[in-house]
Structure 1
Amino acid sequence: MTEFRARAARLAARTADRARRLRHDPFVVQTLRSTAAATISYVVALWLSSEPAPLTAPLTALLVVQVTLYSTLTTSLRRVNSVVVGVLIAIGFSAIVGLSWWSLALIILASLVVGRFVKVEEFIPEVAISAMLVLGVTQVADTAWDRVLETVIGAAVGLLFNLLLAPPVWVDTAGDSIEDLARRMRRLLLDVSEEFTGAPPVERAAARLHEARRLDNDVAEVDAALRTAEDSLRLNPRVKEGLLHRIMLRTGLDTLEICAVVLRVLARSVTDLAKVRAGRRLLPEPAAVVLQETAQHAADAFVSYAVLVTALDSRSAEAAETRLAGELRAARSRRAHAAELLLSGALRDPGHWQLYGALLAEFDRVLDELDPEHRGRRLMEELDRHARERRERRRRLSRGAGSTRVER
């Protein structure tokens, strides 16, 4: 009986954890929201449009309802703009020519060109689609304005859907992605540092190098998650200090991306050293152990830095910054000792001093990038840049309003 209860408890815990993940999965949230918005827009269009099957409204809602409120608003404007432009082009062509192969070619060409100038971005084909659908019917005017009405209904329902039921803020998801990236980088640095105390074959060192190169794909995935999080913070009434959160996450990812590049260079240096040593130990014994300890502290600093970047409260941030500072101090201390040992080794065997120096320089770059003071300077620079851009936008708006008053 006790074993049965334990199994039931474990099953309930796994089920609850899976349900929690589904609630925070962007794909699941987007699927449910898009389905509900498309259905509502179709029902509203049946009431207001004269079309028997106003499918343009749910189609627009599907395209408009995005994961974030900011992207929903911008997509709504571009979508309505593209349809209205296409309808106007079709009305103009219908007043001059009918539907034939050459008029169809002209309307497609004109729609794609005009769509480029009105800046509807990904909805440029929608301009041509709207024009063709309207031109191909008998009652051009009625069908044209019905299509515009259905598009406006779908866009309005999608926008109201996100206004009344604000989409989630994806900061936690982006933070988890940043921490996962830091852990993968930690694991890679530890794997590379294992080769310091041995005589790895060139093939194994090259495999580490390929792993380091694959970090670029991981960075791209985290960047996509971070863009979603940044959009979710814009125009969201539930978020305070959204700009600060965006800058903290973005500068944190930029630092980890630089460190990923340095890790790739470090793996390359180890591969070159393995080629030169040709089956012999990469580094002299005392220096190899100390440099491996340096790598262990630097690897732990990756995770502490990611926790610091993604911390949402001051207590967690202070604890993470304290751990990070301690790990950086230990890493710098071991790195200085390793430099002394490698210098004595280079004096005895000067043929490899360039590679020894490259290893030390790469560790220096990682430790410098993870330094909290360096991060503070970058945060202030980004905040100053955004403040300057905001002042410049206000100045342009003020000049535009002033010139309008003068003309009047």
Structure 2
Amino acid sequence: MQDSIVLPGYPLAKAAGSARHLTDRLRGKRSSQAVYGVKTLAATILTWGAVAPWSPGGHPYLAVTTALLAVNASTVYRSVTQAAQNMVARVAGLVLALVTARLLGPTAGGVVAIVVVAVLAGPRRSTDDRVQIASTALIALAASAADPVGSLVSPVLQTLVGAAVGVAVNALVLPPLYLDESDAAVRGLAHDMGSLLRDMGSGLAQRHLTVKAHTWLHEARHLEERFTSAEEEVQRADESLRWNTRCAAHARCEDLTYAEAFGALRGVSLQVRGIARTLADNAHNDHADHHLGQQFLDRYAETLRLAGDAVQGFAGPRAAGGAPDTAPRGELREAIDEAQDWHDAMTDLIGRGTLVKPGAWYVYGSLMTDVERLLADLDHVGAH
């Protein structure tokens, strides 16, 4: 027996949607790579032109390397912080090389001293910083023996200029924003949870509780993996807004709160998982008196379908220009109101003893509480 309803044309529509999504991702990836290519080239040319005239031998490789690290940072905020950390590590390594050259010279003992000091006395927060300090000191050790002052001043200035150029190019030439990726991640989560709720509702209405209960529980547990990936996208989007010059002309930078929406969906996922777990436990309960009544399941199925509509409408697409689209908001409000009416009706029937079996009262209570909390979370965040 088939366990689910397949709407006409659904597989074809799903395949077409997946193909469009893949095409959009590839197009967006190529566009992003092109932008980074242009920014990298600009930072390289500007740094070389600014540093080559006064660098030793006319070879400002250290400045260009620093600029490339800064301009290819994923966000403006990260480019600034990485440039600052790189500057500190370079200076620390050069000072260490100068001191070692004065005391031990460019000898094997000097190399050992640099490695020991960098590992034992270096910053504890990042292994990369300690490695960078040690590598910078070792490279500068030989040069510092011949020209102690020049070997310190020139690399420091090159690092400073390279970091400044890289940060400036990254901040002024199409600074990266990740709003679309975060938006897609949040809406994808809402769609998946809404689809699971609707599938549970359809399965209950078709008397497929025993057959599909554990499948629903597995899908609900699998949502946690999606949340981990989506959380990274949301955090990256929030970080990309910091110190970003495009926000002045980007309408969505001011009014989108991905963290709040993501937090609401995480709360909803707990209720979805609770519903799936309760249904799975009840489906395979050996006590007949503990099984849910079909009249309740029919009403609860409708509630789950309406809740699924509400979850999917919660993260509806935005209209052109960044302004909120009122249609999805209205559908969300309508779905919540209808689901709340079903909730009130079921509560009344349970209170009058119409639906309750003697041994299943705690199951009814658990399912009702999860739906009530789910709708309350959506209602609270949707109001803002």
Deviations 1:74-108 (A, max 9, x none): 22222112111211122112111134555434323
Give the structure 1 partner of residue 196 of structure 2. 188
Give the structure 2 partner of residue 40 of structure 1. 45
Distance 1:194 1:19, change over 3 A: closer
Could you tell me how far apart the structure 1 residues matched to 2:213 and 2:184 are?
Answer: 30
Give the structure 2 partner of residue 245 of structure 1. 255
Give the structure 2 partner of residue 139 of structure 1. 146
Distance 1:109 1:356, change over 3 A: farther
Structure 1 vs Structure 2: percent identity of aligned residues?
24
Structure 1, unmatched stretches of 5+, are: 1-13, 380-408
Task: Output the TM-score relative to the length of structure 2.
Answer: 0.79
Could you tell me how far apart the structure 1 residues matched to 2:300 and 2:67 are?
Answer: 58
Could you tell me how far apart the structure 2 residues matched to 1:54 and 1:285 are?
Answer: 78
Q: Which amino acid in structure 1 is aligned with residue 118 of structure 2?
A: S
Q: Are 1:62 and 2:72 an aligned pair? A: no
Deviations 1:103-151 (A, max 9, x none): 434323433455427x789534322221222124453634444432332
Over the aligned positions, Cα root-mean-square deviation in angstroms equals: 3.5
Number of matched pairs = 357
Could you tell me how far apart the structure 1 residues matched to 2:333 and 2:30 are?
Answer: 34
Pick from 289, 294, 297 the counterpart of residue 303 of structure 2.
294
Give the structure 1 partner of residue 27 of structure 2. 22
Distance 1:361 1:259, change over 3 A: same
Give the structure 1 partner of residue 378 of structure 2. 370
Pick from 285, 291, 294 the counterpart of residue 276 of structure 1.
285
Distance 1:156 1:106, change over 3 A: same
Q: Are 1:210 and 2:218 an aligned pair? A: yes
Secondary structure at the aligned position of 2:360 is classed as helix
Give the structure 2 partner of residue 396 of structure 1. none
Q: Are 1:85 and 2:95 an aligned pair? A: no
Q: Which has the higher helix share?
A: 1
Could you tell me how far apart the structure 1 residues matched to 2:323 and 2:173 are?
Answer: 31
In the alignment, is the contact (CA less than 8 A) between 1:51 and 1:146 conserved in 2?
no
Give the structure 2 partner of residue 399 of structure 1. none
Pick from 72, 76, 87 the counterpart of residue 79 of structure 2.
72
Pick from 99, 104, 109 the counterpart of residue 111 of structure 2.
104
Deviations 1:320-343 (A, max 9, x none): 332221110011111222334556
Q: Are 1:260 and 2:264 an aligned pair? A: no
The alpha-carbon deviation at position 364 of structure 1 amounts to 0.8
In the alignment, is the contact (CA less than 8 A) between 1:42 and 1:58 conserved in 2?
yes
Q: Which amino acid in structure 2 is aligned with residue 334 of structure 1?
A: W
Task: Output the TM-score relative to the length of structure 1.
Answer: 0.75
Could you tell me how far apart the structure 2 residues matched to 1:64 and 1:300 are?
Answer: 44
**1:309-324 paired onto structure 2 within 5 Å:** 316-324=324-332
Pick from 40, 49, 59 the counterpart of residue 55 of structure 2.
49
Give the structure 1 partner of residue 159 of structure 2. 151
Q: Which amino acid in structure 1 is aligned with residue 82 of structure 2?
A: T
**1:374-393 paired onto structure 2 within 5 Å:** 374=381
The alpha-carbon deviation at position 256 of structure 1 amounts to 0.7
Q: Which amino acid in structure 2 is aligned with residue 85 of structure 1?
A: A
Deviations 1:5-32 (A, max 9, x none): xxxxxxxxx99x9478634678536742
The alpha-carbon deviation at position 192 of structure 1 amounts to 2.8
In the alignment, is the contact (CA less than 8 A) between 2:175 and 2:245 conserved in 1?
no
My pick for the range that moved more, 32-41 or 255-264, is 32-41
Structure 2, unmatched stretches of 5+, are: 1-18
Give the structure 1 partner of residue 14 of structure 2. none
Larger RCO: Structure 1 or Structure 2 (Cα < 8 Å, ≥ 6 residues apart)?
Answer: 2
The alpha-carbon deviation at position 269 of structure 1 amounts to 1.2
Give the structure 2 partner of residue 164 of structure 1. 172
Distance 1:334 1:140, change over 3 A: farther
My pick for the range that moved more, 105-114 or 260-269, is 105-114
Q: Which amino acid in structure 1 is aligned with residue 158 of structure 2?
A: E
In the alignment, is the contact (CA less than 8 A) between 2:87 and 2:159 conserved in 1?
yes
In the alignment, is the contact (CA less than 8 A) between 1:70 and 1:235 conserved in 2?
yes
